[in-house]
Amino acid sequence: MSLVTLKELLAEPLEVHSAVGGFVTFDYASTEAIIKAAEHTGGKAIIMIPWGLAAGQNKPEEYLRNTLSMIRNSSAPITLHLDHGASFEECMRAIHSGFSSVMYDGSSLPMEENIANTKKVVEAAHACGVSVEGEIGHVGGAEAGALVEGGLTADSSLYTTVEEAVSFAEATGVDALAVAVGTVHGIVRGTPKLDLERLSAIRAAVKIPLVLHGGSGLTDEAFQSAVKHGINKINYFTEMSLATSAAVREFVRHCGEQPVHMMDITNHAYHKLEQLIEKQIRLFRLEEKLQQNLE
Active site amino acids: 83
CA gap 103, 114 in Å, rounded:
12
Which residue number, 143 or 164, has a Cβ lying nearer to ligand 13P? 143
Q: Closer CB to ligand 13P, residue 254 or residue 279?
A: 279
State which residue, 242 or 265, has the beta carbon closest to ligand 13P.
242
Instruction: Pick the closer one to ligand 13P by CB: 82 or 202.
Output: 82
Q: Which 138-197 positions form the footprint of ligand 13P (CB under 6 A)?
A: 185-186
Least distance from ligand 13P to the Cβ atom of residue 262, Å: 27
Say what the alpha-carbon torsion angle 174, 10, 285, 272 is, to the nearest 10 degrees. Answer: -90
In this chain, which of 97, 216, 224, 232 binds ligand 13P, going by CB under 6 A? 216
Asked whether the beta carbons of 224 and 19 are under 8 A apart, the reply is no
DSSP letter string, 119-170: HHHHHHHHHTT-EEEEEES---B-TT----TT-B---GGGPPPHHHHHHHHH
Residue closer to ligand 13P, measured from CB, 24 or 102: 24
Cα gap 75→38, rounded to integer Å:
9
Q: How far apart are CA 210 and CA 235, in angstroms?
A: 11
Q: How far is the CB of 200 from ligand 13P (least distance, A)?
A: 21
Q: Is residue 130 classed exposed, middle or buried when 0-12, 13-18 and 19+ CB atoms within 10 A define those classes? A: buried
Name the minimum Å distance from CB 159 to ligand 13P.
15
- Using CB under 6 A as the binding rule, whether residue 83 contacts ligand 13P is answered as yes
Q: What is the DSSP letter of 188?
A: B
CB of 55 or CB of 204, closer to ligand 13P: 55
How many residues bind ligand 13P (CB under 6 A)? The answer is 13
Of the candidates 234, 238, 208, 207, the one whose C-alpha atom is nearest the C-alpha of residue 223 is: 234
- Which DSSP symbol is given to 14? T
What span, in angstroms and rounded, lies between the C-alpha atoms of 169 and 182? 20
Minimum CB separation of residue 85 from ligand 13P in Å reads: 11
Binding mask 92-131 for ligand 13P (x = CB under 6 A): ----------------------------------------
Region of 67-75, 127-135, 166-174, 207-215 interacting with ligand 13P (CB under 6 A)? 207-215
Decide: is 24 part of the binding site for ligand 13P (CB under 6 A): yes
Q: How far is the CB of 218 from ligand 13P (least distance, A)?
A: 9
Q: Is 215 within 8 Å of 181 (Cβ atoms)?
A: no
Which region among 29-37, 110-118, 122-130, 232-240 touches ligand 13P (by CB under 6 A)? 232-240
Q: Decide: is 235 part of the binding site for ligand 13P (CB under 6 A).
A: yes
The sign one gets for the Cα dihedral 44, 48, 54, 58 is negative
3-state secondary structure of 24: strand
Contact window for ligand 13P (CB under 6 A) among 54-62, 193-201, 210-218, 225-233: 210-218
238 interacts with ligand 13P by CB under 6 A: yes
Residues near ligand 13P, by CB under 6 A? 24, 83-84, 185-186, 213-216, 235-238
